[in-house]
């Protein structure tokens, strides 16, 4: 007799998608979505392992995973996160009358070794995303990974290489491609892209991505590593440095530190606000102007950093070092200028020869929106953008694609291109000079020193191997 696992995997490959035709509720809904109810029979739900179960996992990811799959393992280098996560999953199981083990791990490799796990979620700090994602695909797992997917441009190339080899299903957590809207306009960002590509503001000349600035910190003292927290493994590929913990500053929930939520403001582990919010808005902007499979040809800008830089590298290690304010200009092959700025409203402003359109998570405005009642988009405009599927919850799209073995709406290929723009922006503001970029060969032109920034040295034992 075939095993339950082989039955499930065969089901994933062959089941009809007809049951997914209905619309789903937004991801923040506490109700089980229509997609989830119709997706799998109770004994056919994919088995999920969760790697990284901190505040972002608890605040939005786990709810979607529990709707569509059965979580069998939770993993984190912080023991407090692991125990809390196990309790969340067991609580959901009790409500549904399910009784199965929820294993806990510190080392993510233990999750990848399990043959019963079909899917992994990766909600770790940014500098761990690529290594875990690559090893997960090579272990035969489908992957849901939070943004930004990469720490460097070369990491994006490595992920694409392994994805092409393994043919896994891979969804990036850029939820703006699926969600956020209101009753009149259910998908703000999809509607904006559809209107732009339909020529409703004429030829686009400029697009501005307002992503706000990043915080500075006070001097953060060296502190004792908390019990149950594997600091060495948390650092991963990043250089070893003492654990630091300060007082509450910009964040009322976390003290100033190098870890947990605050890792975003250190270039060793992330790209600051440029990759944190840029992963969302630059993605939509490049999609709208038709450059989501290409990239800029030149990029330059100015920035203020909270510590002095020498040759682009921070000279002090006891304070946040990512840019606090910045203004970057990138020019694309089609002549469109993209501005990425910490100034002004958070959102994306498209400017064309026949009008303007502004979109963010709270609104979408402009002449094309005012004219929608008299000049609606074609009925198939949004589904075409959504790769032929009906837009719904972001996690629902991922599990739908697991079923039919296609790539989700937030695919690795386009995400790599938007992250390339963000990484180039950071290189330009750290080196303080204009860069010329060849988007076809993915190289900086005529600047050997700048090209060395496409990758980073990785600490021994934590290298990424493809």
| Architecture in CATH of 4-179+389-411 | 3-Layer(aba) Sandwich (3.40)
Contact of 149 with 416, CB cutoff 8 Å: yes
Interval 12-50: pLDDT, tens: 333 322 222 233 333 333 333 455 444 566 668 999 999
103 phi and psi angles, rounded to 5 deg = -75, 150
H helices of 204-348, in order, are 231-235, 273-276, 278-288
Interval 186-200: pLDDT, tens: 999 999 999 999 999
Token reading at 216: 């500075």
* Whole-number pLDDT of residue 31: 33
| Distance in angstroms (rounded) separating the CA atoms of residues 259 and 461 | 20
- Domains of the chain by residue range: 4-179+389-411, 207-347+414-453
Peptide bond into 148 cis (omega under 30): yes
Counting every residue, how long is the chain?
Answer: 466
* Whole-number pLDDT of residue 41: 61
Low-confidence ranges of the chain (pLDDT < 50): 1-33, 36-38
* Whole-number pLDDT of residue 13: 36
C-alpha separations of 86 from 22, 58, 101 in Å: 32, 11, 10
CB within 8 A of 241, min separation 6: which ones?
Answer: 235, 258, 268, 317
* Whole-number pLDDT of residue 395: 97
* Whole-number pLDDT of residue 40: 60
């Amino acid at each position: 007799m075939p095993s339950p696992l082989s039955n499930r995997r065969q089901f994933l490959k062959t089941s009809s998608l007809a049951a997914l035709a209905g619309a789903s509720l937004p991801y923040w809904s506490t109700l089980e979505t229509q997609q989830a109810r119709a997706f799998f029979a109770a004994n056919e739900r994919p088995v999920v392992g969760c790697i990284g179960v901190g505040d972002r996992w608890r605040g939005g990811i786990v709810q979607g995973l529990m709707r569509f799959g059965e979580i069998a393992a939770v993993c984190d280098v912080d023991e407090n996160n692991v125990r809390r996560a196990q309790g969340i999953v067991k609580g959901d199981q009790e409500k549904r009358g399910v009784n199965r083990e929820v294993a806990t791990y510190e080392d993510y490799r233990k999750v990848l070794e399990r043959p019963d796990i079909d899917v992994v979620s990766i909600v770790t700090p940014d500098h761990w995303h690529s290594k875990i994602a690559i090893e997960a695909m090579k272990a035969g797992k489908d992957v849901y990974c939070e943004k930004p997917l990469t720490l460097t441009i070369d990491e994006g190339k490595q992920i694409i290489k392994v994805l092409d080899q393994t043919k896994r299903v891979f969804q990036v957590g850029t939820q703006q491609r699926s969600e956020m809207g209101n009753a009149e306009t259910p998908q703000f960002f999809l509607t904006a892209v559809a209107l732009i590509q339909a020529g409703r503001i004429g030829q686009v000349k400029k697009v501005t991505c307002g992503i706000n600035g990043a915080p500075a910190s006070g001097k953060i003292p060296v502190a004792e590593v908390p019990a149950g927290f594997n600091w060495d493994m948390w650092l991963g590929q990043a250089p070893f440095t003492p654990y630091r913990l300060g007082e509450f500053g910009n964040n009322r929930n976390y003290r100033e530190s190098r870890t947990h939520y605050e890792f975003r403001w250190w270039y060793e582990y992330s790209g600051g606000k440029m990759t944190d919010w840029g992963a969302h808005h630059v993605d939509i902007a490049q999609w709208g102007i038709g450059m989501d499979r290409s990239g800029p040809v030149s990029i330059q800008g100015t920035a203020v950093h909270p510590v002095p830089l020498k040759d682009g590298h921070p000279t002090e290690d006891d304070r946040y070092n990512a840019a606090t304010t910045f203004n970057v200009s990138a020019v694309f092959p089609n002549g469109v200028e993209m501005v990425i700025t910490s100034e002004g409203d958070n959102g994306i402003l498209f400017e064309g020869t026949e009008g303007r359109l502004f979109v963010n998570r709270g609104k979408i405005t402009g002449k094309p929106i005012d004219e929608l009642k008299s000049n609606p988009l074609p009925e198939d405009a949004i589904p075409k953008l959504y790769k032929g599927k009906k837009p719904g919850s972001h996690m629902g799209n991922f599990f739908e694609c697991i079923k039919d073995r296609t790539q989700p709406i937030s695919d690795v290929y386009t995400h790599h291109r938007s992250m390339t723009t963000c990484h180039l922006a950071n290189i330009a503001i750290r080196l303080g000079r204009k860069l010329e970029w060849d988007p076809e060969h993915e190289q900086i032109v005529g600047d050997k020193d700048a090209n060395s920034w496409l990758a980073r040295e990785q600490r021994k034992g934590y290298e990424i191997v493809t």
